Amino acid sequence: MRVVLFQSPVFTRESPAASLAEALAVPEIHLGDLMRAHLSQGTELGIRAAEIINSGNLFPDEMITAVIRDHLHRSARADFLLVGHPHSAAQALALDELLRELGTPLDSVLYLKLPERDVERHVHLLASRQGAANEIGVRLRFESHEAMMVPIAQHYAGQGLLITVDAVGTPDEISRRALTALRERAPRP
């Protein structure tokens, strides 16, 4: 199964991604881990990434897609849980095209969405861990993430791939709800 997982940035410590990957028996892929591997190994992509980091710029969509492409081409497994990528509609289109080239389209896109009634509690909780002065930063990060998700969610909803799950409860509870939703959506044999 090939699944993209989006979750709110307020879940940085309490992510259900690992338990989801384990339950699905698929590798958990994080763009940051792939980028760090290229940097530490000094690959061509890593050298380009270091130049971009040193210039203070953001990684262009083409580079992010190249890192994902490199991993998927080298990976022995076609199944995965891709966490937090894509970050834009352009990256979503590039991922779709890459997976079409590989003959391995996405099965589902899970969006672990925090209901509005729980946003403030999670913002306060995360800010208290980071220091009360950071509450505005946490709230802005959350709002920015939610705004970024609108066109991506629309893109995948249009393909019939989007599954939205309430991100309330423990990571295990959220993971169980997500697995149930995935199984309900899966085609019957």
**70 found inside a domain:** no
**102 found inside a domain:** yes
Query: Residue 126 maps to which CATH number?
Result: 3.40.50.300
Residue 155 structural domain: 2-30+79-185
**Region 84-96: what's the mean pLDDT?**
92
In this predicted model, what pLDDT tens digit does every residue of 143-186 receive, in sequence order? Answer: 887 888 899 999 999 999 999 999 888 888 999 999 999 999 86
CA–CA separation, 48 vs 38, rounded Å?
Answer: 10
**120 found inside a domain:** yes
User: How many residues appear in the chain?
Assistant: 189
In this predicted model, what pLDDT tens digit does every residue of 119-146 receive, in sequence order? Answer: 777 777 777 776 656 777 777 877 887 8
Does 91 appear as a known binding residue? yes
**67 found inside a domain:** no
**65 found inside a domain:** no
Predicted confidence (pLDDT) at residue 14 exceeds the cutoff of 70: no
**52 found inside a domain:** no
Does 141 appear as a known binding residue? yes
**Region 53-73: what's the mean pLDDT?**
91
Does 183 appear as a known binding residue? no
Does 177 appear as a known binding residue? no
In this predicted model, what pLDDT tens digit does every residue of 19-48 receive, in sequence order? Answer: 899 999 999 999 989 999 999 999 999 999
**59 found inside a domain:** no
Assign 3-class secondary structure to 67-106. HHHHHHHHCCCCCEEEECCCCCHHHHHHHHHHHHHHCCCC
Domain count of the fold of the chain: 1
| Mean pLDDT (the chain, rounded) | 87
**Region 41-57: what's the mean pLDDT?**
93
**Residue 32 CB burial class (10 angstroms; 0-12, 13-18, ≥19):** exposed
Predicted confidence (pLDDT) at residue 59 exceeds the cutoff of 60: yes
**45 found inside a domain:** no
Does 48 appear as a known binding residue? no
- Which residue has tokens 């991922």? 95
